[in-house]
Amino acid sequence: MTRFAIIGFGEVGGIFARDLRAAGASAIHAFDIDEAARARAAAAGAIVHASAAEAAAQAEVVFVPVTAGSALAAARSLAGGLSHAPFVVDVNSVSPGTKQAAAQTVTEAGGRYVEAAVMASVPPKGLRSPILLGGPEAAAFMALMAPFGMDLTIYPGPIGKASAVKMCRSVMVKGLEALTTECMLAARHYGVEQDVLRSLSDTLPHPDWRGLARYVISRALIHGKRRAEEMREVARTVKEAGVDPLLSAPIAERQDWAAAQGRAMTPAELATTDLDMLLAAVEAAAARRVAAE
């Protein structure tokens, strides 16, 4: 019977809470700086606290799924709630350097820091999404979580190495979303999108390029704000490696742009399974935003 805290009750936090409860968690404690997120946590049966430290103080395991730009602030917010040495599981998509800074913050406050790099989109598999673990506390955390059916793999090396796998992968994954959005919108303007898709199928074989394009564009429209923050951490990761982030930084800009269009679209437009309808809706949203400016 394990008690958990979730700091940040967004999409990932909500899914983790649901799956932990279904797997037998004795209690879910929660905190979020956003009032609507706190209301969602309460509706999901979590015990909502007035601060992150207060929530952490009640738990044996503290999951921290916040936006990349808030990762260090979230780690600092736990100070005062870690004297009982809970595991603090940092699932945020941030650079190795940011993970190391978070680890130092948590350790100095008394917590047992666990680096966690989530290697797939969380919604399909939830708590069972594949995760690479790093740091000296990884094995003990993995043993504790055995009854919960998580897909955990210990990645050897210092803190930050597991996240390097995730962040380098994101150059391709989030880059594909940005490139596809830009490619398809330009192709639509010239009326050549069908020929472009046929050519892509010949050059980069995939059974359904239309479906893939619709999916990756929609992900940017819905989650672009979070992805943009992640890509800025990716750019930091690339720079920490001594490589100029000539592509990673602009990918963040395109993800931010996609998020802005997504906010101007209806839920039905965002949920469409038709690529043509989605592109038309993006064009209309962009035109409305330009007119408003």
d(CA 219, CA 261): 12
Residue range 241-264, pLDDT digits in tens: 999 999 999 999 999 999 999 999
Task: List the pLDDT tens digit at each of the 293 positions of the chain.
Answer: 699 999 999 999 999 999 999 999 999 999 999 999 999 999 999 999 999 999 999 999 999 999 999 999 999 999 999 999 999 999 999 999 999 999 999 999 999 999 999 999 899 999 999 999 999 999 999 999 999 999 999 999 999 999 999 999 999 999 999 999 999 999 999 999 999 999 999 999 999 999 999 999 999 999 999 999 999 999 999 999 999 999 999 999 999 999 999 999 999 999 999 999 999 999 999 999 888 87
Q: What is the pLDDT of residue 156?
A: 95
Q: What is the pLDDT of residue 36?
A: 97
Query: What would the DSSP string read from start to end of the chain?
Result: --EEEEE--SHHHHHHHHHHHHTT-SEEEEE-SSHHHHHHHHHTT-EE-SSHHHHHTT-SEEEE---GGGHHHHHHHTTTS-TT--EEEE-----HHHHHHHHHHHHHTT-EEEEEEE-S-HHHHGGGSEEEEESTTHHHHHHHTGGGT-EEEEPPSSTTHHHHHHHHHHHHHHHHHHHHHHHHHHHHHHT-HHHHHHHHHHHS--TTHHHHHHHHHHHHHHHHHHHHHHHHHHHHHHHHTT---TTHHHHHHHHHHHHHHHHTS-HHHHH---HHHHHHHHHHHHHHHHHH-
| Pairing state between β 47-48 and 61-64 | unpaired
pTM of this structure: 0.89
Q: Longest C-alpha distance within the chain, in Å?
A: 62
Q: What is the pLDDT of residue 293?
A: 76
Distances (CA, A) of 122 to 17, 91, 246, 290: 12, 11, 28, 34
Residue range 68-79, pLDDT digits in tens: 999 999 999 999
